[in-house]
Chains A and B, each alone.
Chain A
Amino acid sequence: MYVHLDRAMERYAQGDTAAFSLLHEGLAPRLRAFLLRLCGNPALASDLAQETFLRMHRARGSFAEGAAVVPWSLAIARNAYLDALRRSTHAAASVPVAADEDPDDASNEAASLEPDGEQLVIAREAAQLVRQTLAALPVAQREAFVLLRFEALSVAEAAEVLGATETAVKLRAFRAYEALRAVLRRREEEAR
């Protein structure tokens, strides 16, 4: 699926500096998205994505022949995130909730809108709830869920990125899913 990126990384590991642009172009949005889902802060996610590329650059000589660059880069991005988490207080590095996106505000807004706008606000409210619940999850569950749900990795790929067994990854993702589902279910029941 990402054969062209694997080839570019292969060339880069051998010293072809020009391949870096290809890698950056192909991986940057994905890495930023992954990091944003982990940390919830767009500015921090961008910084960590840059740091990830720097780490990839420094580690390029250790990129195994025939390896897949996407899981490799996601694993490095995860390391960058975990290091940032250790450096800062947990509150600063975990998912913050923007003040202007309070779910209650969104509900009030919905009351004064047309049906289409109402749907939009309901969707935003759900997204905000997911964001909050995701932030409250233990990191191990959050990263497993993000890799399987949003990065669309297979369980085996996610297990490699996380350095865990496939069983452990399934269990973590399942627990995260249950927590998120429970919150959404509760919201829908309240809305009735």
Chain B
Amino acid sequence: MDPQSKSAASPPEGTSEFDAARLRDIPDPFADDFEMEALAAPTFDPAALPSAPTRASVRRLRWIAAACALVYEFAILSLVGLRLDLGSLSRAAISVGLLAPLVAAALALAAADHAGPRGVGAPSPRVASFLLLPVGLFALSTFVSAGGAVVLLGRAYWVATAACVAGTTMMTAGPLVLATIAFRRAFAATAAWRTAAIGVACGAFAAAAMHLHCAIDGQLHYLLGHGAALVVGGLAGLVLARFTRA
């Protein structure tokens, strides 16, 4: 190595003129150890390995989890009942109220499933920024799905909104637990953000289900009462990443 030569791996910014070949200036400090290790390479007996799901069984498990999540939402809806004004709502309000969160859920799932060109994982900042899409879509959709009713922001309103936050959180919890099982050890890289994306998807799914139950009108209620599930799901996903990391 020439100590006087200009440090050339890259400029201080470390980006535009980065030349990985110059890193070879640095000698390998473990060259000797590898020679020694090669002599004593441990063996691994495949017969001693515990059973592990194959790709086909993982796919099957994910479909079962999705079906169970659907059953879970319908079970909750059957318990709490459908909204009474369902028949009188405009088709646009119903379809936007249902479709927008479902599209948001699909986008969030796509973010979680995006594994990059080599199947390892997309960079965390990319997954995180991609998550703004479903959240933004949901927020925008509330302009259409929420009616133009004037709402009095009294105590009853906030109690009802808090009840919706609790309801959508409960509706998020089931699918998120199922998804965590279905995606167990699935992410080699970017596990935290990809699991957060799954949480956002479950929250959006719950928001769609809540739209079939909750008859309280107003954009603020939709955003807080129903949309909170996306945030709660995302945060829960960050915590559950320890189970989805390979």
A interface residues with partner B (beta carbon < 8 Å): 13-15, 17-18, 20-21, 24, 28-29, 32-33, 36-37, 40, 42, 45-46, 49-50, 53-68, 71-72, 75-76, 79, 123-124, 126-128, 130-131, 134, 145, 148-150, 154-157, 159-168, 170-175, 177-178, 180-181, 184-185, 188-189
> Who on chain A is nearest to B113 by CB?
A64
Given A160-B120, A184-B1: A76 and B188 within 8 A (CB)? yes
Contacts of B124 in A (CB 8 A): 163-164
* Interface contact B1-A161, CB-CB below 8 Å: no
CB A104 to nearest CB in B, in angstroms, measures 17
* Interface contact B125-A165, CB-CB below 8 Å: yes
* Interface contact A53-B44, CB-CB below 8 Å: yes
* Cross-chain pairs A/B with CB under 8 angstroms, 5 sampled: A20-B49, A28-B44, A36-B33, A163-B193, A184-B26
> Who on chain A is nearest to B12 by CB?
A174
CB B21 to nearest CB in A, in angstroms, measures 10
> Who on chain B is nearest to A177 by CB?
B9
Q: Is B3 an interface residue (CB 8 A)?
A: yes
Contacts of A166 in B (CB 8 A): 123
Given A57-B52, A165-B126: A75 and B120 within 8 A (CB)? yes
Distance in angstroms between the alpha carbons of A59 and B57 in the assembled complex: 12
* Interface contact A71-B120, CB-CB below 8 Å: yes
Q: Which of B35-43, B64-72, B131-139 contacts A (4 or more CB under 8 A)?
A: B35-43
Task: Choose from B18, B30, B41 the contact partner of A36 (Cβ within 8 Å).
Answer: B30
* Interface contact B121-A163, CB-CB below 8 Å: yes
Given A60-B52, A165-B126: A17 and B30 within 8 A (CB)? no
Given A61-B54, A72-B120: A181 and B33 within 8 A (CB)? no
Contacts of B33 in A (CB 8 A): 36, 42
Distance in angstroms between the alpha carbons of A156 and B24 in the assembled complex: 18
> Who on chain B is nearest to A16 by CB?
B54
Given A57-B49, A173-B9; 19 other pairs, CB 8 A cutoff: A29-B37, A29-B38, A33-B37, A42-B36, A42-B37, A59-B188, A68-B120, A75-B120, A123-B27, A127-B29, A148-B20, A156-B117, A159-B123, A160-B118, A163-B193, A168-B123, A177-B23, A181-B1, A189-B3
Q: Is B189 an interface residue (CB 8 A)?
A: yes
Distance in angstroms between the alpha carbons of A89 and B123 in the assembled complex: 28
Task: Choose from A15, A76, A131 the contact partner of B246 (Cβ within 8 Å).
Answer: A76
Interface of B is mostly: loop
Given A126-B27, A174-B14: A75 and B56 within 8 A (CB)? no
* Interface contact B3-A155, CB-CB below 8 Å: no
Q: How many A-B residue pairs have CB under 8 A?
A: 211
CB A98 to nearest CB in B, in angstroms, measures 10
* Interface contact A13-B54, CB-CB below 8 Å: yes
Contacts of A72 in B (CB 8 A): 118-120, 188
Distance in angstroms between the alpha carbons of A154 and B13 in the assembled complex: 19
* Interface contact B37-A36, CB-CB below 8 Å: yes
Distance in angstroms between the alpha carbons of A38 and B18 in the assembled complex: 22
* Interface contact A148-B120, CB-CB below 8 Å: no
Contacts of A33 in B (CB 8 A): 30, 34, 37
CB B205 to nearest CB in A, in angstroms, measures 21
Task: Choose from B15, B123, B125, B245 the contact partner of A170 (Cβ within 8 Å).
Answer: B15
Contacts of A66 in B (CB 8 A): 119
Distance in angstroms between the alpha carbons of A50 and B33 in the assembled complex: 18
Distance in angstroms between the alpha carbons of A66 and B55 in the assembled complex: 13
* Interface contact B37-A32, CB-CB below 8 Å: yes
Task: Choose from B28, B46, B54, B56 the contact partner of A21 (Cβ within 8 Å).
Answer: B46
B:91-134 near A, CB below 8 Å: 115-126
Distance in angstroms between the alpha carbons of A18 and B49 in the assembled complex: 12
